Amino acid sequence: MSENRAPIISAEPRLPCGTAALAGVSAVSLRAKLRRLMPLHEEMRALTLAVPLLALLIVSFGVPIIALLSRAVYDPSIVNALPRTAEALQHLSAADPPGDDVFAALEADLKQDQAKGSIFEFAKSLNSRLSGARSQVLKTARLLAGGAAFSKSELVAAVPFWGEKETWSTIRGGAHGFTSFYLLSALDLRWGADGLTSVPAGEAVFLRVFARTFMVAALVTLATLALGFPLAYLISNLPPTLANLVLVLVLLPFWTSILVRTAAWTVLLQKFGLLNDALIALGIATERLELMYSRLGLVIAMTHIQLPFTLLPIYSVMRSIPPSQLRAAHSLGARPLTAFRRVYLPQALPGVMAGCLLTFILCLGYYITPALIGGASDQLISNFIANYVNVDLNWEMAAALSFMLLTFTLLLYAAFARFLGLDRFKLV
């Protein structure tokens, strides 16, 4: 499996655009400052400098995303395979059962597909929408290949599949090329003969996987916060040379590939691995824990990988809080805890928010770590997307899941921005 084929959401965490190394201001205040500094035409000129970058972004990022996501709603496989049938269905209202003309068109289409050899492709794509359809289509095609012409009732008698409402609502759903099928499937919904319904309990999978993905992301975010906040506080209060040393230790994992770090964790988490040895030796656990292929192991490994992402924004915000703030609070009569809660914490909050959001969103896209460390029930949404892309070659479903993931992420971001204000996010 190659990482770069997983669409849309890359599981490889990238360095956030504003880590401690970059000094910056929030976008809003920067714009206000720019406006004050230069008149509009100069701003335009500054913008022209960014044109190559924008063009690159659009070509290398925007266009592929849109092209890929459009596969979630545009699937011409049925209309390509059954052009005459699709045409005949146009004249029919949704409630009417298909008549002889539709069946004649269907037979002609299937004969042609059989002759062209594209029948297998069609059978497969219909099967992905309607399980069991594959064998029925191929059987019908073999029947028709005999050369005999079937009337509607004859065909239904030979292959009862064609008499079912479900079959025709599926074909009708794909007759335009545009389809809501994949998007609805990503939410475990189906637009069937009797309207919008949930898929049967046995087939429903994606809502659970989405919930699991968000759950794991939330757990990892909380764990990195619990570890990162005190550590960031410590580093920001150390003398500079020591602070740099600790910071380097925190950042060291950053400089190795995520694959290497994950592989290292598979060694540590083994039943007879270091972590279990340590737990036994310290008397924390009495028997060896199953950490590999478990949710706990997954969260541990992801927490380690994500720690710098949560810590750095918190640290850089904490570093910008002058020590006189706490001193002032103390001199005004606030006890240490009160001073921390009412003066320090509110000022550190934008960094906390930024770090948590960053980690949460990156966690939503995790792929390699769950694949290597998680068990079968710990696979996250990206693993499913990758599977659809690499194994099932069902790019429509992959696109639909990606689209949903992107939508959830954007909604989350919008909610954060709405309730907390974008300018309160401080990466630096």
Partner 1 sequence: MARSSAAEGPAGENLSSIPSALPANLVEFIEVEKTYAGHVIAVRRLDLVVRRGEFLTFLGPSGSGKTTTLNMLAGFERPTRGTIMLEGRSVDRLPPYERNIGMVFQNYALFPHMSVAENVAFPLSVRKVEKRDMSARVRRALEMVRLEAFSERRPAQLSGGQQQRVALARALVYQPSLVLMDEPLGALDKKLREHMQIELKQLHDQLGITVVYVTHDQSEALTMSDRVAVFESGALAQIGEPDALYKEPANAFVANFIGENNTLEGTIEQASKSSCVVRLRDNSRVKATPIGVMVPGDPTKLTIRPEQIRLAEPGSDEDTCLEGTVEGRIYLGDHQRLLLRLANGQELTVKIGADAGFQPGMPLRLAWSTADCRAFPASP
- Judged by CB, which is closer to partner 1: 16, or 313? 313
CB of 366 to partner 1, least distance (A): 34
β-strand partners of 198: 189
User: Which of 153, 237, 331, 377: binder of partner 1 (CB under 8 A)?
Assistant: 331
Q: Which is nearer to partner 1, 156 or 321 (CB)?
A: 321
Rounded to the nearest angstrom, the gap between the alpha carbon of residue 309 and the centroid of all alpha carbons in its chain is 18
CB of 331 to partner 1, least distance (A): 4
Among 358, 412, 405, 408, residue whose Cα is nearest residue 68: 405
338 is a contact residue toward partner 1 (CB under 8 A): yes
286 touches partner 1 (CB under 8 A):
no
Should residue 343 be labelled a site residue for partner 1 when binding is judged by CB under 8 A?
yes
Minimum separation from the CB atom of position 250 to partner 1 (A):
27
Using CB under 8 A, pick the residue from 68, 92, 108, 334 that binds partner 1.
334
Q: Pick one of 41, 52, 324, 391: the residue that binds partner 1 (CB under 8 A).
A: 324
Q: Any residues with CB less than 8 A from the CB of 372 and at least 6 apart, and which?
A: 262, 263, 266
The label of the residue with tokens 């290497």 reads 260
Nearer to partner 1, 347 or 394 (CB): 347
Which DSSP helix (H) or strand (E) runs through 240?
Answer: helix 240-251
Closest approach of Cβ 294 to partner 1, in Å?
A: 42
- Binding of partner 1 by 329 (CB under 8 A): yes
Out of 31, 165, 208, 342, the residue judged to bind partner 1 by CB under 8 A: 342
**Structure tokens, 236:** 């920001």
Among 330, 340, 375, 423, binds partner 1 (CB under 8 A): 330
* 328 CB-near residues (< 8 Å, 6+ apart): 343
Q: In Å, how far from its chain's centre is CA 386?
A: 10
**Does residue 198 sit in helix, strand or coil?**
strand
- Quote the least distance from Cβ 349 to partner 1, whole Å: 8
Number of neighbouring beta carbons within 10 Å of residue 412: 16
Q: Is 302 exposed, middle or buried (0-12, 13-18, 19+ CB in 10 A)?
A: buried
Considering the rule CB under 8 A, would residue 333 count as an interface residue with partner 1? Answer: yes
**Do residues 201 and 280 make contact, with C-beta atoms less than 8 angstroms apart?**
no
Amino acid at site 138: L
User: Does residue 45 bind partner 1 (CB under 8 A)?
Assistant: no
Which residues are within 8 A (CB) of 412 and not within 5 positions of it... i.e. 6 or more apart?
357, 360, 361
Nearer to partner 1, 225 or 343 (CB): 343
How far is Cα 25 from Cα 33, in angstroms, rounded to an integer? 10
Question: Measured between alpha carbons, how far is 79 from 386 in angstroms, rounded to an integer?
Answer: 27
Q: 3-state SS string over 131-192?
A: CCHHHHHHHHHHHHHCCCCCCHHHHHHHCHHHHCHHHHHHHHHHCCCECCHHHHHHCCEEEE
Please list every residue from 344 through 383 that binds partner 1, using CB under 8 A.
346-347
To partner 1, the closest distance from the beta carbon of 342 in angstroms equals: 7
Which one among 201, 332, 376, 391 touches partner 1, defined by CB under 8 A? 332
CB of 319 to partner 1, least distance (A): 15
CB of 423 to partner 1, least distance (A): 12
Question: Candidates 118-126, 262-270, 337-345, 388-396 — which segment interacts with partner 1 by CB under 8 A?
Answer: 337-345
Q: How many residues bind partner 1 (CB under 8 A)?
A: 19
Residues near partner 1 (CB under 8 A) are: 322, 324-325, 327-336, 338-339, 342-343, 346-347
